[in-house]
Amino acid sequence: MRYTPVTLCFLLREGPTGSEVLLGLKQTGFGRGKIVGIGGHVEPGETDAQAVIREVLEETAVVLRHEDLSDAGTVRFVFPARPEWNMATRLFTARTWHGDPVPSDEILPEWFNVEALPVERMWQDADHWLPVVLEGRRVNVVVTMHTDNESVASSESLLGQEGGQGC
């Protein structure tokens, strides 16, 4: 099965009401209108870390360095009705960076309390793995979508494999 390589980074900070994560309202392309993590496609010749650093800069003007990134695992997304959408997503978190997030043509960034994620406005898979990542644990998950390409048919944690955590 073929997967497009994608990266996401979840910036975390302590806010006035507890831990917060930077997410964004997608303005264009795949996922338009949904609240999503910051990131995107890995370009040829890039490492996952290089790609996520570039994507975060392009989408929010926030500057990350390789040493700011923590590996949070992987999520493979399977779209049986649209296999060209299949993605192998490398996840990162960061607690240090330079600059304040600003909107771009692609993303309107916003801080959300990690205890009150806007899951009703996100892809339906988010609550299957994102809370684990925001707790500081790594995941290794395969999410298979229904034929509507919106709802989750199954979410399987690959226990015993690198990055595997119960979800």
Alpha helix ranges (H) inside 22-142 = 48-60, 126-134
For the whole model, what pTM was predicted? 0.90
Residue 26 lies in a domain: yes
Rounded CA gap, 94 and 143, in Å? Answer: 24
pLDDT tens column, 19-30: 999 999 999 988
Give φ, ψ of 93 to 5 degrees: -125, 160
Q: What is the pLDDT of residue 38?
A: 97
- Tell me, what CATH number does 129's domain have? 3.90.79.10
DSSP state of 32: T
pLDDT for 159: 58
Range of the domain at 25: 4-157
Angle (nearest 5°) at CA 52 between 108 and 137: 95
pLDDT means over runs of 10, the chain (167 residues):
95 94 94 94 97 98 98 95 95 98 97 95 90 95 90 78 36
The reply to whether 66 falls in a domain is yes
What is the count of structural domains for the chain?
A: 1
Strand partners, 10: 93
